[in-house]
Structure 1
Amino acid sequence: MAVTAAPREPILEPGLPIIDPHHHLWDRPAPTGAPTHPFENVMHMRPRYLLDELLADMKSGHDVRATVYLQCGAMYRADGPEELRSLGETEFVNGVAAMTASGIYGPVKACAGIVGHVDLLLGDAAAGVLEQHIAVAGGRFRGIRNSASYDPDPAVLGPLARIGGGLYLNGKFREGFARLAPLGLSFDAWLLEPQLPELIDLARAFPETSIVLDHVGTPLGIGAYAGRLSERFGVWRENIRALAACPQVSVKLGGLAMAFPGFASFMADPPATSAQLAEEWRPYVETCIEAFGAERCMFESNFPVDVCSCSYDVLWNAFKRLAAGASAEEKAALFFGTANRVYRLGL
């Protein structure tokens, strides 16, 4: 488990304003025993990621001015109706947001937007639960995420293999999904590359609902897909292009430091440099920007999950290398503007 610490890199373009539109917070028991799946390395390295850790990353050299919190099942209520327990996560994150909104930690605004969780399989009844999240979020609730990630090979998702396939095609789910737009809420989608047609179908069925594809659609290079990343690139690219034809869909550029693509940088010792990371990720990032345009793309940290490949400051250096050829207007969108608009932050 021990990984050599990477040498500090000079911060590239330190004055470029950033909104980090995807991070988590949690406090979980440190695992015992060796990881049984690559993803489990995350909890071995970062069982705790709360405001102190987030602020240390936000202030590690880049001009990260605000963040958007993404649901991860943290701080659920211990009792009460099952469908309302996720309110605990929204309440918790709103408290963290209030702490930084006080200004005592400087001008940063952590968790300026909150993406929580409501089970849309509740159908029409999801509306009442969504309204309760809005009520407890202090004006910060922006939408929800329901993960559809599934693969027939349990080795792909490991501990995250929790549901069967076809969630976004489910009629009851879509009944609940239809309650988002009337409340002004967006939807974050996490699924795996072979499942992208499900999201394309959902987006075509609900053109009025803002949808954000997380982690460029999670390309796969482990389990049954080991050694097949290049082989499947063309399939992924065509699905990305089809999804980009839906104008209400945007995409987060990141998550490629997770275990699922199987890149050499994952748990590398010594850790990869930002230049190495940028070259690994370039085909996926550039394809997304070409398909969606900078105005519908946003770089994301996915921290602390992506810590298995790099530190926070190295991650943003890699993104800046990837955007080196972009215009000033395109950089403004990729690093700040798209997230500000899609999550209605008003910054």
Structure 2
Amino acid sequence: MNATSQPGSIRPEWLDTQREEPLEPGLVIVDAHHHLYHRPGARYLLDEMLDDLDCGHNVAATVLVQARAMLRAEGPEFMKPIGETEFANGVAAMSASGIYGPTRVCAALVGFADLRLGDAIRPVLEAHIAAGGGTVDAGGRFRGIRQGAAWDPDTSLLNAAYTTSEGMLASPEFGRGFAQLAPMGLSFDAWLFFHQIPRLTALARKFPDTAIVLDHCGGVLRIGRYAASSADVFRQWKVALIELATCANVSVKLGGLGQWLSGFDFQAQDRAPSSTQLAQAWRPWIETCVEAFGTARCMVESNFPVDKANHSYGIGWNALKRLFRDASPDEKADVFWRSAARFYRLWHVGELSALRPSTT
């Protein structure tokens, strides 16, 4: 899992205290960000995800993002993350058989590689592409890299499984590794905190040909030393986000606000939140992202199972649908499936099949 592992556990009986019928059940959705893993005390594999998908929403495809799952037990340390891509591609093949329902789970894969290896990262990227079934044109599923950059002086906010630093994105070694992505047809998922967004802006401007997507609305922090300054956090986040949006190669994922870091502690309530409650809490952050980036560069995500500690899968989609209730059909298509399908090149989803670049 990423740096947002919630200290609270998932409580099915608590989630069951709030039930809703799906809003706009025909609206196509691409879930642009979720995880699969099995570790002590935490299991979220295909069966668990299928249970969540069985909520009445029309989720056509999902994007698997690395979470240090199924790493190889042997071999060089820098090659161990290839195991996660091998595992996820197997899940994708199961899903693509159609036996498990219409959703194409893990239709696109985002893995981990330590870009600080610089030029030496290329064999790792090649191994990921091979483990994902080859290139996009050959039907492969591997699309990009996520290397968590989340850093804060308060180490309690960090995930000890990842080594990072305040200046990692600007380091020469990272830059040399990052430079390998675009030539290999790979994108970058950026996970960092709101006060680090200017560093991502600098990176995006240095590499304008590399497709980048900002995860989880840009790393909202409203706990710990930030709990008493939520208004200041919002102002600083908004200024940085608007500047980042001037980079045409950057998109943003709308979601991830169910993490404990975001400070929307619905777990403390006796009853799980309704979609109306979630929409009200998320509205300023989601609407600011859309105003800055436009719908063509915004995509929705569940961030499950991380966000499952605070709300159920179906109610999360209902909340996002409430926030876009007054949007045009074209804007809804952008946000709920088209932006993600375009970014991750999911050519089989909807009308994007007609937009696939010619290979002749």
Q: Into which bin does the TM-score normalised by the smaller protein fall? A: over 0.9
Query: 2:263 aligned with 1:262, yes or no?
Result: yes
CA contact under 8 A between 2:18 and 2:273: conserved in structure 1? no
**Deviation of the 1:158 alpha carbon:** 6.1
Task: Give the TM-score normalised by the residue count of structure 2.
Answer: 0.89
State the match for 2:102 in structure 1: 107
**1:156 Cα deviation after fit:** 2.6
CA distance in 2, matches of 1:334, 1:24: 20
Residue deviations 1:178-226, cap 9 Å, x none?
0000001000000001111110110111000000000011111111111
Secondary structure at the counterpart of residue 227 of structure 1: helix
What one-letter code is carried by the residue in structure 1 that aligns with 2:217?
A: V
Gaps of 5+ in 1: 31-46
SS at 2:166 equivalent:
coil
The 8 Å contact of residues 77 and 87 in structure 1, kept in 2 or not, is answered as: yes
SS of 1:164's equivalent in the other structure is: coil
**2:210 aligned with 1:209:** yes
Task: State the distance in 1 between where 2:157 and 2:248 align.
Answer: 31
8 Å Cα contact 1:251-1:288 kept in structure 2: yes
- Give the total of aligned pairs: 331
Alpha-carbon contact 1:268-1:309 (below 8 Å) kept: no
CA distance in 2: counterparts of 1:160 and 1:13, whole angstroms:
39
1:21 aligns with 2:22: no
For the pair 1:132 / 2:133, whether they are aligned, the reply is no
Structure 2 counterpart of 1:330, which letter?
Answer: E
**Structure 1 partner of 2:6:** none
Q: Residue 86 of structure 2: which of 79, 84, 91 is its match?
A: 91
Name the SS of the counterpart of 1:19 in structure 2: strand
TM-score by length of 1: 0.93
User: What amino acid sits opposite 2:257 in the alignment?
Assistant: L
1:59 has 2:50 as partner: no
Question: Are residues 158 and 69 of structure 1, via their aligned partners in 2, closer, same or farther at CA, if it must alter by over 3 Å?
Answer: closer
Number of the residue aligned with 1:332: 333
Per-residue CA deviation, residues 60-97 of structure 1 (Å, 9 max, x unaligned), is: 11000110000000000001011110000000000000
3-state DSSP of counterpart to 2:261? coil
2:153 aligned counterpart, secondary structure:
coil
For residues 27-54 of structure 1, the C-alpha deviation after alignment (integer angstroms, 9 at most, x for no partner) is: 0111xxxxxxxxxxxxxxxx10000011
Percent identity of equivalent pairs: 54
Alpha-carbon distance in 2 for matches of 1:310, 1:160: 25
Q: Separation in 2 of the partners of 1:267 and 1:198?
A: 34
Deviates more, 1:203-212 or 1:220-229: 220-229
Gaps of 5+ in 2: 1-8, 134-139, 350-360
Matched, 1:8 2:8: no
CA distance in 2: counterparts of 1:327 and 1:202, whole angstroms: 33
2:113 to 112, 118, 133: 118
Shift of 1:159: 5.0
Match of residue 40 from structure 1: none
